[in-house]
């Protein structure tokens, strides 16, 4: 989406399968995207859409004995999927860092917060304990922990949820990473604290000129923070494009469904339009377009042929849907009218 020298990540055809006793779970299928410096890529989808698994695969955090991973994950030109575990260890946590959903589960309850961040420093750098501690304090201060010098000596239970998430972000920033992957970073937090954390992530992105992947189920969070958006369903990308286009002119019936089923804080809607049915099992995903059993606009080719992720017109962004472009524009427009009414 921007010039190649700013490009950090180029994922091509990432596919993740988990063989289980019940069959093969097709968690992620043929996912391709890019990430550049200064970009926030929002990955949205409902539970089980493969948004977290694809990021775990990128981080090399899936057990390769249990998960069958194929495709390419090119990080600054090098394929992370074929890298040795040792080589990967130098990148993970250093050049690509991750912030998880639950800050309560991510910090060790028996160690001081400062100690845990200092440990992250010494994991990739040979510095003395004092230097590492000083860096931890500096980072805590940087992410907005008041009285960082004394709070670094606190244990995680003495921190509030928001402060713990700040500490996690501090830990992720230890080695000035190029990519920060945030997996539902604010889902466990209250909305006023969420606003603080989202602001912090945005600041960090600008200051360090990094790329951010923000995984969330909350379309509002994505709309406010992301530059580009990837809508996932049943392990596949349904729609991928600039954030303003996805929210102003969504093209895929699934994206329409998601947006229409959301209650609005702006006004009370006469009725919400839910997506009928429930998400498919990934053990046996539907044939053709995975969304076709729930899609109100399905027609003949949908159950038969899988639509490729391509831009249907020059002024459109890629989507995976068989509907002709004219029809999509028409349906999208009528949807917009109904929404404005």
Partner 1 sequence: MSRRLDGGEEAKVPASPAPELQHSTNGTVDNLVELEHLTKHFAVKQGVFARGKAQVHAVEDVSLTVRRGETLGIVGESGCGKSTTARLTLRLLDPTSGTIRFDGRDISKLSQRQLRPLRREMQMIFQDPYASLNPRKTVGQIIGGPFAIHGVKGARIRVQELLETVGLNPEHYNRYPHEFSGGQRQRIGVARALALSPKLIVCDEPVSALDVSIQAQVLNLLRTLQRDFNLTYVFISHDLSVIRQIADRIAVMYLGRVVEIGDSESIYEHPKHPYTAALLSAVPRATTGRRERIVLTGDVPSPIAPPSACVFHPRCPRFHEGHCDVETPELREVGTAHAVACHYPLERWPMSEAEIRQAEGAERTAEKPHLEGAAHDV
Q: Considering beta carbons, is residue 16 or 197 the nearer one to partner 1?
A: 197
Question: Interface residues for partner 1 in 159-178 (CB under 8 A)?
Answer: 160-163
Structure tokens at 16: 């993740």
Q: Considering beta carbons, is residue 150 or 261 the nearer one to partner 1?
A: 261
296 makes contact with partner 1 (CB under 8 A): no
- Chosen residue from 264, 304, 330, 334 binding partner 1 by CB under 8 A: 264
Q: Considering beta carbons, is residue 8 or 167 the nearer one to partner 1?
A: 167
- Chosen residue from 22, 266, 300, 314 binding partner 1 by CB under 8 A: 266
Q: How far is CA 260 from the centre of its chain?
A: 22
272 makes contact with partner 1 (CB under 8 A): yes
Number of alpha carbons in the 13 Å side-chain half-sphere of residue 131: 6
Structure tokens at 122: 């010494």
223 makes contact with partner 1 (CB under 8 A): yes
221 makes contact with partner 1 (CB under 8 A): yes
Q: Name the one range near partner 1 by CB under 8 A: 12-20, 29-37, 56-64, 263-271.
A: 263-271
Gap between the Cα atoms of 173 and 37, Å rounded: 15
Please name every residue paired with 211 in a beta bridge, in sequence order, or none if there are none: 179
22 makes contact with partner 1 (CB under 8 A): no
- Chosen residue from 1, 74, 269, 331 binding partner 1 by CB under 8 A: 269
Q: Mention every residue, 6+ apart, whose C-beta is less than 8 A from residue 42.
A: 214, 216, 221, 222, 225, 226, 228, 229, 230, 243
Q: Which residue has the tokens 């969504």?
A: 250
Binding mask 103-142 for partner 1 (x = CB under 8 A): ----------------------------------------
247 makes contact with partner 1 (CB under 8 A): yes
User: Total residues contacting partner 1 (rule CB under 8 A)?
Assistant: 49
Contact 38, 52 (CB under 8 A): no
Q: Mention every residue, 6+ apart, whose C-beta is less than 8 A from residue 315.
A: none
Q: How far is CA 274 from CA 47, 113, 168, 202, 233, in A?
A: 16, 43, 36, 32, 16
191 makes contact with partner 1 (CB under 8 A): yes
Q: Name the one range near partner 1 by CB under 8 A: 50-58, 203-211, 260-268, 316-324.
A: 260-268
Contact 216, 44 (CB under 8 A): yes
Q: Name the one range near partner 1 by CB under 8 A: 82-90, 104-112, 120-128, 223-231.
A: 223-231
Gap between the Cα atoms of 153 and 110, Å rounded: 12
Gap between the Cα atoms of 141 and 122, Å rounded: 19
Q: Mention every residue, 6+ apart, whose C-beta is less than 8 A from residue 255.
A: 231, 238, 239, 246, 319
46 makes contact with partner 1 (CB under 8 A): yes
Q: Considering beta carbons, is residue 88 or 222 the nearer one to partner 1?
A: 222
193 makes contact with partner 1 (CB under 8 A): yes
196 makes contact with partner 1 (CB under 8 A): yes
Contact 168, 144 (CB under 8 A): no
| Smallest separation, CB 83 to partner 1 (Å) | 35
Binding mask 226-245 for partner 1 (x = CB under 8 A): -----------------xx-
Q: Considering beta carbons, is residue 259 or 311 the nearer one to partner 1?
A: 259
Q: Considering beta carbons, is residue 190 or 326 the nearer one to partner 1?
A: 190
Contact 235, 203 (CB under 8 A): no
Gap between the Cα atoms of 17 and 178, Å rounded: 28
| Residue ranges in contact with partner 1 by CB under 8 A | 46-47, 160-163, 190-196, 198-199, 217-225, 243-244, 247-248, 257-269, 271-276, 278-279
């Amino acid at each position: 989406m921007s010039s190649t020298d700013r490009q950090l990540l180029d994922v091509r055809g990432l596919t993740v399968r988990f063989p289980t006793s019940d069959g093969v779970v097709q968690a992620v299928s043929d996912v391709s995207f890019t990430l550049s410096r200064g970009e926030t890529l929002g990955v949205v989808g409902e539970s089980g859409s493969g948004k977290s698994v694809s990021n775990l695969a990128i981080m090399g955090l899936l057990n390769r004995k249990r998960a069958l991973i194929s495709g390419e994950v090119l990080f600054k030109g090098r394929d992370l999927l074929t890298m040795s575990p040792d080589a990967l260890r130098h990148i993970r946590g250093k050049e690509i860092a991750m912030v998880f959903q639950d800050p309560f589960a991510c910090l060790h309850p028996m160690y001081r917060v400062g100690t845990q961040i200092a440990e992250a420093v010494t994991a990739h750098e040979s510095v003395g304990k004092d230097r590492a501690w000083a860096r931890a304090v500096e980072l805590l201060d940087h992410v907005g922990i008041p009285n960082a010098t004394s709070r670094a000596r606190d244990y995680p239970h003495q921190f509030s949820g928001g402060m713990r998430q700040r500490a996690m972000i501090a830990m992720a920033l230890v080695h000035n990473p190029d990519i920060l992957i945030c997996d539902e970073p604010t889902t466990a937090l209250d909305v006023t604290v969420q606003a603080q954390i989202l602001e912090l992530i945005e600041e960090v992105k600008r200051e360090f000129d990094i790329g951010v992947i923000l995984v969330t189920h909350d379309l509002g969070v994505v709309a406010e923070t992301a530059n580009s958006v990837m809508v996932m369903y049943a392990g596949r990308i349904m729609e991928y494009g600039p954030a303003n286009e996805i929210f102003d002119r969504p093209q895929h019936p699934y994206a329409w469904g998601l947006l229409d089923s959301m209650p609005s804080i702006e006004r009370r809607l006469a009725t919400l339009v839910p997506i009928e049915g429930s998400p498919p099992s990934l053990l046996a995903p539907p044939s053709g377009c995975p969304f076709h059993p729930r899609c109100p606009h399905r027609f003949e080719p949908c159950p038969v042929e899988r639509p490729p992720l391509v831009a249907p017109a020059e002024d459109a962004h890629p989507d995976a849907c068989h509907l002709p472009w004219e029809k999509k524009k028409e349906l999208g427009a009528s949807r917009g009218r109904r929404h404005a009414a």
